Structure 1
Amino acid sequence: MFACLFTHPLDLAKVRLQTAKTPGDGLVSLAFKIVKNEGILAAYAGLSASMLRQATYSTARFGVYEQLKEFISSKSQGTPSTIELLGASMVAGAVGGLVGNPADVVNIRMQNDNSLPKAERRNYKHAIDGVYRISRTEGITALFRGLSPNLVRGVLMTASQVVSYDVAKHLLVDNLGMDPKTKTTHFSASLIAGLVATTVCSPADVLKTRIMNSSSTGDSAFAVLKTALSTEGPGFMFRGWTPAFIRLGPHTILTFIALEELRRLRLGM
């Protein structure tokens, strides 16, 4: 949630780019358009939903991963292997994707709302209002729209982000002699993790965003993928990669620096 406060405007720009039917605007030009046409506060549209998403999705995946990593370490009496870390991260990512799906649906809709015609806007007051109105008007199942690609993305994100961070950190310490407790090491390892995670997760992230933004209950992941491939080509899977990395890079750095501080202070870690 701490990281989200700084990166939310970039996340909003990423969602707008991913839901656009035709490519055109870049990150900078889109950001200027949002502020010019909708006001500077529009850069933080849907912040409550984004914070709720982090409080559910990120808390679950990081918490489960750390617990599984500790369990594996206690069983093997040593540092877990990369394969073991991947297995733990995949389980943690799936749990996070499931727990955070309702907040993710509201988050994407609130971020994309101002780009819709006025007659089509949902106008959720805040995240809880969004969850309530979706449940009431579309049914509880609507809160789990896009669950399949979200689970895939959760698995890919957690596996590529936390495992690449742990592996990069060990490589930096063992091969370059960096101090495992310094901010420089944490920054370098988390920057590598952000780059890996953005590239691995982009296709599932774009697909998830489009399904969740849709109001049609008949839009399966395969149907959305097939339509997008036929009308836009395979390049659509990496739509918004640059703003995704610009957002995920700082987000990953801030997240892991915060986690390392929690470890240092022995607060929950």
Structure 2
Amino acid sequence: MATEQRKPLPFIANFAAGAIAGVSEILTFYPLDVVKTRMQLETGKSKHGMVGTLTAIVREEGVGRLYRGLVPPLLLEAPKRAVKFASNDFWGKTYLKLSGESKMTSQLSIITGCSAGATESFVVVPFELVKIKLQDKTSTFAGPMDVVKQVIKKEGVLGLYAGMEATFWRHFWWNGGYFGCIHQVRAMMPKAETPQGQLFNNFVSGSVGGFMGTVLNTPFDVVKSRIQSVSKVPGVVPKYNWTYPALVTIFREEGPAALYKGFTPKVLRLAPGGGVLLLVVEFTLNIFRQALGPPYI
């Protein structure tokens, strides 16, 4: 059966492929995420670049610190990536039906990606908050559950959703750039004639998508990190509260470059990480297709 005519895989297949891909990506690139967060939480002019921050962490705190906060994102990655690809599949089918198009277009892929990112953000927030608080250099929390207990004790259950709005915009723009670029790059590349060629095309398009998503969402990630790192004080309005006013504050006080703090480790993780993500997703989906047989092949 021709690829264009094959039956779409069931939801559970897209869910499982996204989960496996997410865990693979984070185990490979997590230390870069720690470095990125440290750079974003540093106010004023940056004292270290990526390499300086990395070596300072290892020298002053030990190699193990590069993996501090790993448990929350590991617990999160499976549902997060699963939701990312499953919701992208859901919204893609929905928008195709609404638009009357027979196949995905560039505009639809961007709208689909943004919608998937918005959906994903609701799953992500509590895990991201715990991770940021553990990655902070000044963190005194004993571990993930200690963060959860203390936040709930001081701020209530809703305290776990601090930074929800910033997280929404971070994922909205990243997914729009990621999935929109994948569609565009795939259309520009020569059609793959072999499985190896298909893998190469997926890695390249996923890497370009990861780079563009990072360019678009880094300012929102900086704001999110700062909102989530600070505990709320009763009666005191937080310096960084709503996303777009916070972007203006950082721009005015620290200059435009501050909105891209942590960009280098972030893009080094998410550009090849986006490629790895897409490779693993497509590889896993192909296994499902082979296992289920016609009409999915």
Partner letter of residue 207 of structure 2? L
Mapped partners of 1:251, 1:131: distance in 2: 28
Q: Contact 1:211 / 1:224 at 8 angstroms: preserved in 2? A: no
Aligned partner of 1:150 among 160, 167, 175: 167
- Could you tell me which residue of structure 2 aligns to residue 186 of structure 1? 202
Q: Deviations over 1:4-39 (max 9, x none)?
A: 001100000000001011312111121111111111
Counterparts of 1:42-53 in structure 2, within 5 Å, are 42-53=65-76
Partner letter of residue 52 of structure 2? S
- Could you tell me which residue of structure 2 aligns to residue 163 of structure 1? 180
- Could you tell me which residue of structure 2 aligns to residue 209 of structure 1? 225
* Gap runs ≥5 in structure 1: none
Matched, 1:134 2:151: yes
SS, match of residue 107 in structure 1: helix
Change (3 A) 1:69 1:224: closer
- Could you tell me which residue of structure 2 aligns to residue 248 of structure 1? 270
* Gap runs ≥5 in structure 2: 1-22
SS, match of residue 46 in structure 1: coil
Mapped partners of 1:23, 1:153: distance in 2: 22
Tell me the CA shift for residue 169 of structure 1: 1.6
SS, match of residue 215 in structure 1: coil
Tell me the CA shift for residue 203 of structure 1: 0.9
Mapped partners of 1:142, 1:239: distance in 2: 25
Q: Deviations over 1:216-253 (max 9, x none)?
A: 36321255434423321122111121111111112211
Work out which of the two has the higher radius of gyration on C-alpha atoms and give 1 or 2: 2
Q: Contact 2:113 / 2:178 at 8 angstroms: preserved in 1? A: no
Seq. identity, % = 22
Counterparts of 1:109-128 in structure 2, within 5 Å, are 109-112=133-136, 115-116=137-138, 121-126=139-144, 128=145
Mapped partners of 1:216, 1:77: distance in 2: 48
Mapped partners of 2:232, 2:250: distance in 1: 16
Mapped partners of 1:184, 1:30: distance in 2: 33
Mapped partners of 2:120, 2:101: distance in 1: 27
Q: Contact 1:134 / 1:143 at 8 angstroms: preserved in 2? A: yes
Partner letter of residue 18 of structure 1? Q
Partner letter of residue 35 of structure 2? A
Judge which range, 131-140 or 203-212, deviates more.
131-140
Aligned partner of 1:62 among 85, 98, 101: 85
The number of aligned residues is: 259
Matched, 1:97 2:115: no
- Could you tell me which residue of structure 1 aligns to residue 15 of structure 2? none
Q: Contact 2:219 / 2:247 at 8 angstroms: preserved in 1? A: no
Mapped partners of 1:108, 1:143: distance in 2: 12
Q: Deviations over 1:158-184 (max 9, x none)?
A: 111122113212221xxx233484221
Partner letter of residue 120 of structure 2? G
SS, match of residue 266 in structure 1: helix
- Could you tell me which residue of structure 2 aligns to residue 27 of structure 1? 50
Change (3 A) 1:80 1:177: closer
Change (3 A) 1:179 1:155: farther
- Could you tell me which residue of structure 2 aligns to residue 262 of structure 1? 284
Q: Contact 1:59 / 1:96 at 8 angstroms: preserved in 2? A: no
Matched, 1:237 2:253: no
Q: Contact 1:49 / 1:104 at 8 angstroms: preserved in 2? A: yes
Q: Contact 1:46 / 1:107 at 8 angstroms: preserved in 2? A: yes
Aligned partner of 1:177 among 170, 191, 203: 191
Q: Deviations over 1:44-97 (max 9, x none)?
A: 110001213323433222211112223445664621222222222222111111
TM-score by length of 1: 0.88
